[in-house]
Structure 1
């Protein structure tokens, strides 16, 4: 697949993967949240249908290509700490704490925490999330407006100058379906715009109607109960991580998202099913199957993994350690930050904590 960026052509060997990695690991609703606040997207202008229509990609793959499905399962099972989203954190002399791998969506299946997880949340003294700034969306958006370079082009560049006429038309239609005029976001950085067209219409509809995504709900419930809520990152730091990836990377993400169209609904539905079953290690192997040839772009993924996952894992683990040292903490971070040799679970173990999965 070849795309045009301005007057340049760029070869993409793996349609879809770049954006899908970002959807899997990053707070895509964070960007959607900011756009909703900044441009006053209302329930009346957002997508009206709050039902999701995606199909599970792996269910179809199991029937159509059993061998490839088996390979996905095998790769997922080989990921360290890739099974389970709820973990117990222990160290001698302090009360146990709890770690939940979250999914940044408004899906009611995700919001409905299992009884044991809910009980741990309710009994905790302190709640830790990626960023406590999500408790006040308008305040967060206002603060980020003070650093426009993180979300917008400040050199006169517009998205129209970077897209071909066909891609520009597809983008305009995709945003229209979500109640956002293209003119309003023309100077936004590509990944901000991608976050909106990547999310299923049902997510945008629920968000516009005031439904909180999981991390927000966890934090809001904690505040209502008089608990202390602490963040591990600032929203500016999260956006900075995205901004540091090359513009070409983000342009590929945007164009690939437009090319995938309604298939994004299937991707999100499959990620949700994997999340609910605790098969987090299968997320990236699953995303590879979305490409026609199953290949992925190693250089792109390496850059993404280092900056968006590994670097942030280290920050989360380092900042969580002194909070966990007090015991009785309930911590929730994106589920894709948990598994792997460089995941939060392994990093906490290196700090002397015992971390075990809870069924």
Structure 2
């Protein structure tokens, strides 16, 4: 752990994980969109969506990290049991694929994705692949990423979403110690601070939180799951739609206070050594369909079972997850009304009393998990 004597102890840092894990899960795709749009990502998303680029040279890139579920099972089975009980109490917390039905309308499907290039994730389970193949219409969160030039134009029209345009720079919001921490971490990765000093801190944090294996696969042209779905839909001649625009997604991040984003950046750097285990846990629980278990497991594996500061978590969840859930449900309604659609959004948007599954049930649909 790269900490100076002035850095908070691991217990204090781990206590902020609810905010950080939610940030990583929600912001990685948004950060990638922005990087593509401003030319920082190597390789184009369009090329990544093409079939020949996704596996041969990238499948062998292995991510380090240990699933914390196994650690808990061996060292603290009682904490593991509490984490499982917490997850079990979350409505619709288990399952990646959901069947959407209403009398008189052909069934549709809701699929939770994870925005990573891991070949196990990109492959999709057989049931989801079958549902995708039979659907006439395919929907992802945003289709803007399929056209980097269009995404770039959209962002350039509102530069304040991703860049400081008022004369400030990142260093304007950092004390001396944190500024040194950020500069050293960027230098370690070969990125001069001057190159990114006008970028909003959430973009830099997302870039630093992304494991090296993910960056390597993306730079080799491997698509993350949502892009693969979109590319396959285009290749099959299906109608392809998006629920949001890149501008709306960036606005959601920009709406949060700058102080929140600055803290997120600093904490991302301080937790850098833990990120491989966090990402491994998120990925493997996702593959098992245990969406609601991700946060309890990560928190339970930390010092003092991760109990502590949740400052900013509720605000982030409301703006980045819950508010977008309501928009997605509203915009998905006419698509589901036509039937035979396959809608793929981040799995984070599915569980909970205000998750998409609950919102669709409230709208009169029968929604059932596909095992």
TM-score by length of 1: 0.90
Aligned 8 A contact 1:19 1:254 in 2: no
Q: Does 1:300 align with 2:301?
A: no
The structural deviation recorded for 1:181 is: 3.2
CA distance in 1, matches of 2:180, 2:220: 27
Compute the RMSD of aligned alpha carbons: 2.3
TM-fit CA distance, 1:297: 3.3
Q: How many Å apart are 1:165 and its aligned residue?
A: 4.3
Q: Would you say 1:92 and 2:107 are equivalent positions?
A: no
Mapping 1:224-239, distance limit 5 Å:
224-239=235-250
Cα deviation, residue 18, structure 1: 2.2
**Aligned mates of 1:17, 1:2 — CA distance in 2:** 23
Q: CA deviation at 1:113?
A: 1.2
- The number of residues matched between the two structures is 348
1:290 and 1:248 mapped to 2: Cα distance? 28
Tell me the CA shift for residue 256 of structure 1: 0.8
In 2: Cα distance, 1:2 partner to 1:145 partner: 39
Deviation at 1:153, TM superposition (A): 1.2
Q: Deviations over 1:271-321 (max 9, x none)?
A: 001100000011221342365331243441111111111111100001000
- Given that residues 16 and 253 in structure 1 are in contact (C-alpha distance below 8 angstroms), is that contact kept between their aligned partners in structure 2? no
Match of residue 53 from structure 2: none
Q: What is aligned with 2:115?
A: 104
Report if aligned partners of 1:94, 1:326 keep a CA contact under 8 Å in 2. Answer: yes
> Cα distance 1:85–1:177, how it changes in 2: closer, same or farther (>3 A)?
farther
Contact 2:30 2:249 in 1 (8 A): no
- Is residue 2:63 matched to residue 1:52? yes
Confirm or deny that 1:29 pairs with 2:29: yes
**Partners of 1:206 and 1:177 in 2: CA distance:** 20
Q: Which moved more, 1:220-229 or 1:288-297?
A: 288-297
**Which residue of 312, 323, 338 corresponds with 1:311?**
323
Q: Unmatched 5+ residue regions in structure 2? A: 44-57
The change in CA–CA distance for 1:280 and 1:114 in structure 2 (over 3 A counts) is same
Deviation at 1:33, TM superposition (A): 4.1
Unmatched tracts of structure 1, length 5 or more:
5-10
Q: In 2 relative to 1, CA 136–36 (structure 1 residues): closer, same or farther, beyond 3 Å?
A: closer
Partner of 2:347: 335
Match of 1:20 in 2: 21
Quick one: distance in 2 between partners of 1:346 and 1:215?
22
Displacement after TM superposition at 1:80 (Å): 0.4
